[in-house]
């Protein structure tokens, strides 16, 4: 079990994103918030996600539909088919339940904690950035194969 390896790929500039640097798990509260603002259907929610902060956070429609399903299954929202007032295929219109409203409240509390977390992170980064040169402190015995 030796660490060898050391073959990093990529044409140097690590143009290879390899995965989105994005925090996940935000779709559910965002949908709850949109439904808190008023009843709508999934397609509209998928577009409306950009309005609650997910501007540079493109969410696939399939994700939206699936999260809505799950929320309904848990009793957080209710749905009904709207065939009358539409110009197009029938829409499934969603509405928050009382439980869903409470759940959103809990989400909001947890997101305030998340907000603190991100703030502390950024604060810690800003504080350690100036000390760029010599932070070898912990261990000078280990030999890296660079």
Partner DNA sequence: ATAATCTAGATGCAATACGCACTTAGCTGT
Partner DNA sequence: ACAGCTAAGTGCGTATTGCATCTAGATTAT
- Encoded tokens for 110: 């947890």
Neighbour order of strands in the sheet with 91-96: 40-41, 91-96, 77-82
Residues of span 58-97 touching DNA by CB under 7 A: 58-63, 65-70, 86-93
Residue 31's binding partner among a second copy, DNA, none (Cβ under 5 to 8 angstroms by kind) is none
Q: Which stretch binds DNA (CB under 7 A): 23-31, 96-104, 108-116, 127-135?
A: 23-31
Q: Name which of 63, 50, 53, 39 is nearest 115 in CA terms.
A: 53
Q: Name which of 90, 94, 104 is nearest 28 in CA terms.
A: 104
Q: Does 89 bind a second copy (CB under 8 A)?
A: no
Residues of span 44-83 touching a second copy by CB under 8 A: 44, 51-57, 72-76, 78-82
Residue 75's binding partner among a second copy, DNA, none (Cβ under 5 to 8 angstroms by kind) is a second copy
Q: Terminal CA-to-CA distance of the chain, rounded, Å? A: 18
| Cβ nearer to a second copy, comparing 1 with 62 | 1
């Amino acid at each position: 079990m030796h660490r060898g390896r050391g073959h990093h790929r990529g044409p140097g500039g690590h143009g290879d994103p390899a995965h989105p640097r994005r925090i996940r798990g935000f779709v559910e509260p965002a949908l709850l918030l949109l439904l808190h603002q008023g009843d709508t259907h999934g397609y509209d929610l998928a577009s409306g996600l950009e309005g609650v902060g997910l501007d540079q956070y493109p969410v696939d429609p399939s994700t939206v539909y699936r999260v809505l399903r799950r929320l309904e299954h848990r009793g957080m929202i209710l749905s009904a088919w709207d065939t009358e007032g539409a110009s197009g295929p029938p829409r499934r219109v969603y509405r928050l339940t009382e439980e869903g409203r409470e759940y959103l409240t809990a989400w909001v509390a947890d997101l305030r904690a998340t907000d603190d977390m991100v703030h502390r992170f950024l604060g810690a980064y800003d504080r350690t950035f100036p000390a760029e040169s010599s932070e070898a402190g912990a261990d000078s015995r280990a030999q890296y194969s660079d």
